[in-house]
Amino acid sequence: MIRQIRALGALCACLALSAQANATIVRFQMADGSRFDVNLYDKRTPATVANFLAYVNAGTYTNVVFHRSVSGFVVQGGGFTYPGTLPFNTVTERPAVTNEPVLSNVRGTIAMAKLSGGVNSATSQWFINMGNNSANLDVQNGGFTVFGEVTSGGMTVLDAINALPTFVSSPLDSLPLRNYTVADANNGVAISANNVVYATSVTVIDSNADSASALTPAANTLLSASSGGTNTATSDSGGGG
């Protein structure tokens, strides 16, 4: 089962990265030519944004794979990169960071994945909420940290990914693939660059730390009223929703 949606760890680590935390809009350039932008909530979730930008600024998310898709729930990445052939390379994780569950896991938001039973276990993996997951993810495992939102019609790109068929490719159990069928899988057809869903780059396109000031993300109002939450999310070795 794929790990559960991760959160951010060590505040001291994020302080060391604070100089890089001044970028608020990042662009995911997909291998198929599509793209989507994410506006980060620098002021609301500073530790999480600093952690995410550390990976971005280091180029860690070059050729990052969208390795998990659950219809109507999440599309997840950040754990693996595509070197041109299988197997995927595993992303080297930075220290985990402190959870910041102040915003709600509604459709179109990006949040950090973490380990089951590990409130402060988020490192490199993130997921996009494909539906309103607040009732579950705002309260489960200490709440999952939302740290940005998809903008400018970018959910059209993600909806297309979420609609793709998924396959088991160890250690992943919900790997979305393009132009690949059950018959291909049964016949042992090799998975190629034409099939893998990945972003060739994730880059900062706006370094204005106040770019999210006009946005009105929904607050997480459920966590304080609940001590738990129903665990309807599964996860694989990639960590996920």
Q: Is the pLDDT of residue 233 over 80?
A: no
CA torsion 75→81→87→91, rounded to 10°? Answer: -100
Q: Is the pLDDT of residue 51 over 90?
A: yes
Instruction: Give residue 25's Cα distance to chain centre.
Output: 15
- Mean pLDDT over 150-178 rounds to 96
Q: Print the SS3 string covering 109-170.
A: EEEECCCCCCCCCCCCCEEEECCCCHHHHCCHHHCCCEEEEEECCCHHHHHHHHCCCEEEEC
At residue 226, the pLDDT reads 63
What is the overall mean pLDDT for the chain? Answer: 87
Q: Is the pLDDT of residue 18 over 90?
A: no
pLDDT digits (tens, 9 = 90+) for 83-114: 999 999 999 999 999 999 999 999 999 999 99
